[in-house]
Amino acid sequence: MISKAPIVFLILALMLPFAGIAQTSTYDISADVTAGCDSIKVKFTFIDNALEDTIHNFFWDFGNGESSELRDPPIVSYTVPAPYTVTLLFGSSIENMLESDLTIIKNNYITVYPTIKADFTYTDTTEIGYYAISFKHKDQPYSNAGIYAWDFGDGETSADRNVIHNYAGPGTYTVKLAVSTLYGCTDSSKQVITLAAPPDIPLIVASDTFGCGEARVKFALDNVDPGTVTSILWDFGNGTTSDQVDPDTVVYNTPGYFDVSVVINGDQAHAVSEERLVHVQLLSPADFTYAETADYDTYILEHTGVTDPSATYRYLWEIHDVDTDTTKQITVTFPAPDTVYTVKLTVSDNFGCTDSKETSLYVFSELIVQNVFTPNGDNRNDFFTVSSYGSTPLALKIFTRSGSLVYEAEGYTITWDGCTSWGLELSQGIYYYVLDAIGDNPDKRFHKSGFIYLYR
């Protein structure tokens, strides 16, 4: 057996200065992992592409003080950050290993990179601002090569290693730090900090901070002795102000975010401001239209209310005896003609704003209209005749193909004899008709159009 002592292996390596050059196309070694952070475990494999497998003796040096004489060595652990050279001597016998040049050397084949820790400290910096906090990544080896991502818990971030952050006001904030190295080593940590208001800084208290379409907010002050207030100026962010300690209810009726601030006794140093304190979300009205299609019992219904591009909307259509739907535009086939249906639409968004509207829709039965008539006096198909739905009168208009109106009439039953409204006989050809329901009931709408062939 070959000794595993490093000094013996070094002598063997020095005896073979050109080892591995001629065998790269036949033999090789591979590792399932060649790089990692802090510590890695590696599985090595001997690759034998020779036509005959004659290799039976091995000596591995993994570069970390460990070795093996197995063809398939056990998993090797690397726990110290450094590059490692891996060497393999192999042959058909012990003597062959000593006399041949069957050696593979892979310089710096395995690399363990030092990890980076995301530990950080923070301290108050009241000389900069009452809510200014200094955050520092803890000093450690290789930290200067880090990539930093701070999240201060108030929507603000930073990519600096050390940073001073100014908070808008008191509160509890979860601060997170994620760090990574150029080699892909990562770590993260978080700490919860609480900032208290100083005894002489007022706090703005709002009865509500959100509204759909409109918000009515009653503001007040906390941490203030009213007896010490000689002057005060509120700015509610919507173009209105107040000089009262207890201001009237403020109405916000424009969608958006609003900053609110107050200055007491003219002292700007102790003024307080709350950014984006009030949020008014656009209330999308549940307005909708409906239009007939080519099929008499099928209608297209569509929401037409104004929407906020930044919001996500959900639509709920509710129609008696008809399945509901949840899309902005729907096509509905109604089961029964000459029936009034109640159509209700509810529109809601991801902010919790909701609006609903309903209307009555009268669905007419199918109106059969002839497409040819022969006004030649033979008492057969001499007239173009249309009849109304019960108590709903119709309006008929006849146009030439060039768009000239040549005949119009209204009534429950309309009979056209092929002449103009002023009595002139029209020539043979194709004409265009338009039928509309008329009356005082806006729910009983109807519209139909098409072509009629006048043949003499």
Are 312 and 350 in contact by the 8 Å Cβ rule? The answer is yes
Q: Which residues, listed in sequence order, are joined to residue 274 by a DSSP beta bridge?
A: 260
Query: From CA 160, how far away is CA 177, in angstroms rounded?
Result: 11
* pLDDT digits (tens), the chain, 456 positions: 334 444 334 334 433 333 333 344 588 999 999 999 889 999 999 998 877 777 888 999 999 999 999 999 999 999 999 999 999 998 877 766 655 567 899 999 999 998 888 999 998 876 566 788 999 998 666 555 678 999 999 999 999 989 999 998 888 999 999 998 888 888 899 999 998 877 667 789 999 999 999 999 999 988 888 888 889 999 999 999 999 999 999 999 999 999 999 998 887 766 788 899 999 999 999 999 887 776 667 888 999 999 999 999 999 999 977 877 789 999 998 888 778 888 999 999 999 999 999 988 877 776 778 889 999 989 999 999 988 765 678 899 999 999 999 999 998 899 999 999 999 999 999 999 998 888 666 555 667 788 999 998
pLDDT at 14: 38
pLDDT at 99: 58
Domains (range + CATH), the chain? 6-113 (2.60.40.10), 120-195 (2.60.40.10), 203-281 (2.60.40.10), 288-363 (2.60.40.10), 372-454 (2.60.40.4070)
pLDDT at 405: 96
Give the contacts of 51 (CB within 8 A, at least 6 positions apart). Answer: none
Q: Which residues, listed in sequence order, are joined to residue 86 by a DSSP beta bridge?
A: 106
Q: b vs e for 337-365, b when ≥16 Cβ sit within 10 Å of the residue's Cβ?
A: eeeebebbbbbbbebebebeeeeebbbbe
Query: From CA 114, how far away is CA 21, in angstroms rounded?
Result: 33
Both structure tokens of 196: 């208290």
Query: From CA 167, how far away is CA 288, in angstroms rounded?
Result: 45
Q: What is the 3-state secondary structure (H, E, C) of 309-353?
A: CCCCEEEEEEECCEEEECCCEEEEECCCCCEEEEEEEEEEECCCC
pLDDT at 169: 81
Query: From CA 262, how far away is CA 426, in angstroms rounded?
Result: 81
Query: Strand 298-303's sheet: what is its strand order?
Result: 288-292, 298-303, 329-333
Judged by phi (left if over 0) then psi (alpha if -120 to 50, else beta), residue 256 lies in left
Query: From CA 251, how far away is CA 246, in angstroms rounded?
Result: 15
Judged by phi (left if over 0) then psi (alpha if -120 to 50, else beta), residue 20 lies in left
Are 279 and 350 in contact by the 8 Å Cβ rule? The answer is no
Are 72 and 60 in contact by the 8 Å Cβ rule? The answer is no
User: What is this structure's pTM?
Assistant: 0.45
